[in-house]
Amino acid sequence: MTWRARCTGGLLAWAFTLCPIGAHAEPLAAPAYPSRPWHVELDSRFGTSTSPYPTTAFPEVSGYALLFNLNAEFAFTPQLKAGARWPLVLARLEQPAGALYAEAAWGNPELNLTFERPLGAPGELRLRGGTRLAVGLPLAEDDTRASQLEGRALALANALEGFGEPELYTPGVLPITPAALLELDYRRWQFAASLKLPLLPRVSDANLPVDSPKRPLGFVPVLELRARLRLFDWLALGAAPRLTMRAVAPVDDGSPPLQLLAIGQIEFRFGPTLQLAALFQAPVGGPLGGSTFAGGLRLDASF
């Protein structure tokens, strides 16, 4: 669709003004404020995408969207945390003739429990591991009073995340997401690897196009590797490739299963409790490479 090039240019200009390097869906490293049990994060993305869309008349969905994700987490102990995520999508969906259609959609709210603990500290290295179990509520749906084609806003949001947040943006499923995290600190460097294994059992077809090939159970593993360099106390840079494998896509769009997402970010810390990150992320190769770009801001506060 021809308008996309213009929008992409504007987005890139906007994104690069904000962030010399870009972004990612979860904190590259959650600020460690053990004395402050509450951690609240407002995560946003703004991007454009043309993504596969599994219906006969519409092989793709195109448009731009602003995603908000409100995350809150409470640390019962330094090892045990409970949290919630609540995503919102404000989308402008391109219609066939080129007009746009405004649509809002909730994602699946998520409740999660995280257990983390140190694994060792040989020399200057510090190693930490963790596991997480998240359960989503199957509430993701478009504004059905005005929806022209069900699920398009959510499909756009899922594409902006490189298909890497299926538990948030897949309608009609009850997501159960176990995950594991390994972190390594060395001086100013931090490296991390995370693997999440979202299981997406279908509980409803209500918010999907009638002719879309739905599956009763989706399985979409997501592997993310992260590197972060703290240049100053107030400034850090990060990068993270994220590989998503739609082993069993919840809705089969016929596209290749692997999708790599390149993420970069710059973080600014304002005192001990407040941090702002500017992000840029773009899929590389796969079904979304070259057609999807997003920038974003993430504000972290602890208290």
Partner 1 sequence: MSCHLSLCGLASAIVCLACDPRVCADQPGRATALPERLSETGLFANVAQQRLGSRVFAYTPSYALWSDGADKRRWVYVPAGEQVDTRDPDAWQFPEGTKLWKEFSHDGVRLETRLLQKVGPGSADWSAVAYVWGVDQKDAVKAPYGAVNALGTAHDVPASGECFACHDGRANRVLGFSAIQLARRTYDDSVGLDAEGSAIVLSEALPTLDVPGIQSQRAALGYLHANCSHCHNQSGSAAAAGKCLDPNQSLSFELDFSLRSDALLSVGTTATYRTAVGRVIERGKPQDSKLVQLMAGRGAFRQMPPIGTEQVDELGLRALRDWIGAL
Number of DSSP helices (H) and strands (E) in the chain, helices first: 3, 16
In whole angstroms, give the CA distance from residue 30 to residue 288: 28
Amino acid 115 reads F
User: Judged by CB under 8 A, which of 74, 76, 270, 303 binds partner 1?
Assistant: 270
CB of 148 to partner 1, least distance (A): 5
In this chain, which of 82, 102, 133, 229 binds partner 1, going by CB under 8 A? 102
Q: How far is CA 211 from the centre of its chain?
A: 27
Binding segment (CB under 8 A) for partner 1, from list 12-20, 122-130, 171-179, 225-233 = 12-20
> Count residues contacting partner 1 (CB under 8 A)?
40
CA 18 to chain CA centroid, nearest Å:
19
> Are 288 and 49 spatial neighbours (Cβ–Cβ below 8 Å)?
yes
44 lines the binding site for partner 1 (CB under 8 A): yes
Residue 210 is a binding residue for partner 1 (CB under 8 A): no
Q: Could you say whether residue 89 binds partner 1 (CB under 8 A)?
A: no
* C-alpha 175 chain-centroid distance: 15
Instruction: Pick the piece of the chain touching partner 1 (CB under 8 A) from 58-66, 199-207, 212-220, 249-257.
Output: 58-66
Applying CB under 8 A, among 72, 88, 297, 301 the residue interacting with partner 1 is 297
* CA end-to-end span of the chain: 46
Q: Cβ closer to partner 1: 199 or 276?
A: 276
Residue 227's Cβ-count burial label (10 Å; 0-12, 13-18, 19+) is: middle
Which residues contact partner 1 (rule: CB under 8 A)? 1-7, 10, 14, 17-18, 44, 46, 57-60, 64, 66, 90, 92, 95-102, 145-149, 268, 270, 276, 278, 295, 297
